[in-house]
Amino acid sequence: MTGNPFDQIRIVLVNTTHPGNIGAAARALKNMGLSRLYLVAPKEFPADKAVWRSAGAVDVLDNAIVVETLDEAIADCALVVGTSARERRIPWPLVTPRECGDRVWSEAQSHRVAILFGREDRGLVNEELQKCQYHVHIPANPDYSSLNMAAAVQVICYEIRMSHLNELSGKPLQFNDWDQPPAPAQDLEFYYQHLEETLIELQFLSETNPRQTMTRLRRLFNRVRLDQMELSILRGMLTSIQNYIFYSKKRMEKEARQTPNT
């Protein structure tokens, strides 16, 4: 199954006592681009307090799905992650919030994912945590590690968003969106030869001992991904420099001829 990965991720709040926390969680979801909220047997919902705390995210509350049991909330999810404010007796595969964000984002490309948040007073019970493939713990102050439930939702949803943004920024430069085609390898080679020649004429490079300069310059230009227009501007600049050197030499030779030997 494919689709918008944001729609494949659901945040499940289990037995929430305070409706204000449900509203704050809805806001946290929407801020991070998520929208699927599931409420397992909430104590008080719908509630005005939830609407107030949701600020502009009433749509997330309106579309929240209320179910009686956790099993109903996660039935069609192929990955279930449970959040926990403390270490549990039986160790379970544990991920950091960042790893959780990456895993949830990547799996949401192909299937539905649920992240569970527990009750304000006692979190998720063991039976609920054992339905999860992974547990995630926000590494807060060890002496005071329990966050407000909606604040924990915010942290986890933020990491999902970061994973999404990292994926976007890690994508190679899209030349489809560029106004000029990229410079082909052969033109780059001609440019490097031209550059080396010019740098030697300028006596910036020594022909007999060029060292690593050209390698470093190649690396620099490869990082930049020159387009054809940029490359031809650079070639034009090199030609102007060469002309300048050529005519300067001629002028100096002429002046040397005109100056009588003393």
Q: Provide the binding-site residues for ligand SAH, judged by CB under 6 A.
A: 83-86, 117-118, 120, 122-124, 137-138, 140, 145-147, 149, 152
Torsion, Cα 102 107 113 118, to 10 degrees, reads: -30
- From first CA to last CA, the distance across the chain in angstroms is 91
Q: How far is the CB of 155 from ligand SAH (least distance, A)?
A: 8
Q: How far is the CB of 238 from ligand SAH (least distance, A)?
A: 59
Q: How far is the CB of 115 from ligand SAH (least distance, A)?
A: 9
- Interatomic CA distance for residues 86 and 156, integer angstroms: 16
The smaller minimum CB distance to ligand SAH, of residues 16 and 163, is found at: 16
DSSP state, 176? G
The smaller minimum CB distance to ligand SAH, of residues 18 and 191, is found at: 18
Q: How far is the CB of 38 from ligand SAH (least distance, A)?
A: 14
- The full length of the chain comes to 262
Would you call the peptide bond into 97 cis, given omega within 30 degrees of 0 as the criterion? Answer: no
Q: Name the one residue in this structure whose structure tokens are 């009686």.
A: 68
Q: How far is the CB of 136 from ligand SAH (least distance, A)?
A: 6
Sheet arrangement for strand 65-67: 65-67, 36-40, 9-14, 113-117, 79-83, 134-136, 94-95
The 3-class SS string of 187-235 reads HHHHHHHHHHHHHHHCCCCCCCCCCCHHHHHHHHHHHHCCEHHHHHHHH
Q: Name the one residue in this structure whose structure tokens are 């939830």.
A: 50
The smaller minimum CB distance to ligand SAH, of residues 161 and 218, is found at: 161
- Interatomic CA distance for residues 74 and 128, integer angstroms: 11
The smaller minimum CB distance to ligand SAH, of residues 142 and 170, is found at: 142
The smaller minimum CB distance to ligand SAH, of residues 70 and 183, is found at: 70
The smaller minimum CB distance to ligand SAH, of residues 86 and 257, is found at: 86
Q: How far is the CB of 116 from ligand SAH (least distance, A)?
A: 7
